[in-house]
Amino acid sequence: MKTELSGSHAGGSVPETSAADAVNDIVMAGNKSKGGRPYFLEDPAVERVLNISMAIAADLAVLHERLDTIERLLEAKGHLNRKEIEGYVPDDTAAEERQAWHARFSARILRIVQQEVEAVANPANNVPMRTIADEINEM
């Protein structure tokens, strides 16, 4: 495994030394664990897409956090320095704000699931629209 493959353009600096030759870090990072993988959704194809979507969501969050860092540094210092981005650790206020962003982000992408839970919690608000249309027609 050569180092040029193990750094990512978004991840910043390329590591100075490579992992052991026996270690193919890119592939091994995603190795499967022992035992058959359970699929919980009725159609495994949907679960497959879900997993791909969640991975994309993760990296959108990562990109957001990176952009946030850049903006904060630009604001604070008036210039950009790659090394500073790698070393940036948010202060408590910034950290809380960023966590809140993550919370809202999670809430956005899992909206449909949250709403399915709310549907179970509040059945009165879950009447089919065709029924409501008929009811409205009588109002």
Partner 1 sequence: MSYQLPPVWTKLQQHAVFPEFNHDERARYNFLANLNRFVSTVIAPGNKLAYERRVEPQFVQEHGRSFADRFEVGEAMKKDPVYQMWAALRRSTMEMRQQNGRAVVLRQANQLAAKVAEELKGTETLQLKADFKVPPYLTHVDNHLMPGSYHTEYFPGDVSNAANYDSGLFVTSGGMLGSLTDGGGRAIAAWVKETYPDFHPKRILDIGCGLGHNTLPIALAFPDAEVIGIDAGAPMLRYGAARAHALGVPNVKFIQADAASMKEFANESFDWVQTTMFLHETGGKSIHTIFREINRVLKNGGLNLHIEQPQYTPEMSMYEQFMRDWDAYYNAEPYWGHMHDLEPADLMVEAGVPSDKFMQVGVKAINDLDKKKQDGKVTEDYGRSPIWNVFGGWKSTVK
State the binding string over 51-90 for partner 1 (x if CB under 8 A, else -). Answer: x--xx-xxx-xx--xx--x---------------xx-xxx
Shortest distance in whole angstroms from residue 88 CB to partner 1: 6
CA angle 81, 97, 55 (to 5 degrees): 75
Backbone phi and psi for residue 116, each to the nearest 5 degrees, phi listed first: -65, -35
Task: Candidates 77, 80, 96, 135: give the one binding partner 1 (CB under 8 A).
Answer: 96
Instruction: Kindly tell me which of 103 and 135 has the beta carbon lying closer to partner 1.
Output: 103
Task: Return the half-sphere exposure (C-beta side, CA atoms, 13 A cut-off) of residue 81.
Answer: 9
Task: Candidates 2, 4, 31, 136: give the one binding partner 1 (CB under 8 A).
Answer: 31
Tokens of residue 78, six digits? 């008036």
If binding means CB under 8 A, how many residues of this protein chain bind partner 1? 66
Instruction: Kindly tell me which of 28 and 132 has the beta carbon lying closer to partner 1.
Output: 28
**DSSP secondary structure letters along 81-104:** -HHHHHH----HHHHHHHHHHHHH
How far, in Å, CA of 102 to CA of 104, rounded?
5
Torsion, Cα of 19, 25, 26, 28 (10° steps)? 170
Per CB under 8 A, 103 contacts partner 1: yes
| Residues contributing to the site for partner 1 (CB under 8 A) | 6-8, 10-13, 15, 17-20, 22-23, 25-26, 28-35, 37-42, 47, 50-51, 54-55, 57-59, 61-62, 65-66, 69, 85-86, 88-90, 95-96, 98-100, 102-103, 105-107, 110, 113-114, 116-117, 120-121, 123
